[in-house]
Amino acid sequence: MTADSLSDTALTRPMTDPFGRRISYLRVSVTDRCDLRCFYCMSEDMTFLPKADLLTLEELDRLCSAFIHKGVKKLRLTGGEPLVRRNVMGLVRSLSRHLKSGALNELTLTTNATQLAKYAAELADCGVRRINVSLDTLDPDKFRTITRWGDLDHVLAGIEAARAAGLAVKINAVALKNMNEDEIPALIDWAHGKGMALTLIEVMPMGEIGEGRIDQYLPLSLLRGRLAQKYTMTDLDETTGGPARYVRVAETGGTIGFITPMTHNFCESCNRVRVTCTGTLHTCLGHEDASDLRKPLRASASDEQLSDAIDRAIGLKPKGHDFIIDRRHNRPSVSRHMSVTGG
């Protein structure tokens, strides 16, 4: 075998963690910035990273492509809010070449929908087929309270633009004690009535947000018990290797996913890793692990150092997360904010 073929083999080596899980899903934050300030995610006066610290769009493209060459089949762009990154659609269009080649099965994103009216048609033209939208309430006043200044009508218009462009939309809702817990049935009926799936998520203890999460935390086991009084729910075997456990609702025909980082460790089939907008690789959302990919990315025009750094990081991926709300000290399990890590 020649030196070149050895190098090619290293660059395309499949990513398998110490527990035999094949890594095929990459979530990449393109920015830590957001045009909303959801109170369970950010403090009102967030200090964002200097723009000079962020990877360029060209570097993000190269980084994503390196992961695709190593076996990633699903790529999700996140933030912050990914669509507020200047010229982000240039990155989406460039990455779509991997869909055309067959190297990538899916290119998608998670968004708050504030920019969807502007970009939905172009996203569809780039080969994006489905998106996740974060939306916790259908009450305009509650929406403004949760997001601190968001306009619900603007978000709903973005969702309709996405549907009109042919994008499948899944709604992600964080269950918040004493805020939206009584509204979950209305969210289910609304989403399923429009042919959209809904996933419910427990609040995650990530980053200082200026208030305690104990007051926000609603166990989904409790919520599911309440929903069972109204709906007939059948467990599904469906899995994406991710954290959600799905049920089919007989009354609506739609599906509900339950993501329970606090009440159930969902890591046994984890197939994903996350990269921040600064090029830091986190192999687990609930750990403080971090591997710098920016340095090897910038060290050489070749991807050999980058590929080796990825392999080393995957080799340290933990078996599961350790999320817990620290009731004694009222502090988060993980110091970094979700907006930095990527949703």
Residue ranges of the annotated binding site for GTP are 27, 76, 110, 170, 272-274
Pairing outcome for strands 168-175 and 130-134: parallel
Cα–Cα distance between 61 and 185 in angstroms, integer?
Answer: 40
Cα–Cα distance between 97 and 64 in angstroms, integer?
Answer: 12
Q: Phi and psi (nearest 5°) for 111?
A: -145, 160
- Tally of CA atoms within 13 A in the half-sphere of 63 that contains its CB: 32
Binding residues for S-adenosyl-L-methionine: 40, 80, 134, 204
Cα–Cα distance between 137 and 125 in angstroms, integer?
Answer: 30
What tokens does 119 get? 């970009």
Computed over its alpha carbons, how large is the radius of gyration of the chain? 20
- Residue whose structure tokens are 């986190």: 282
CB atoms within 10 A of CB 122: 13
Picking from 193, 200, 187, the residue whose alpha carbon sits closest to that of residue 263 is: 200
Picking from 172, 175, 77, 87, the residue whose alpha carbon sits closest to that of residue 127 is: 77
Cα–Cα distance between 299 and 56 in angstroms, integer?
Answer: 15
Nearest 5°: the CA angle 250, 168, 57 is 145
Binding residues for [4Fe-4S] cluster: 34, 38, 41, 267, 270, 284
Binding residues: 27, 34, 38, 40-41, 76, 80, 110, 134, 170, 204, 267, 270, 272-274, 284
CB atoms within 10 A of CB 308: 14
Picking from 3, 2, 12, the residue whose alpha carbon sits closest to that of residue 307 is: 12
What does the chain come to in residues?
A: 343
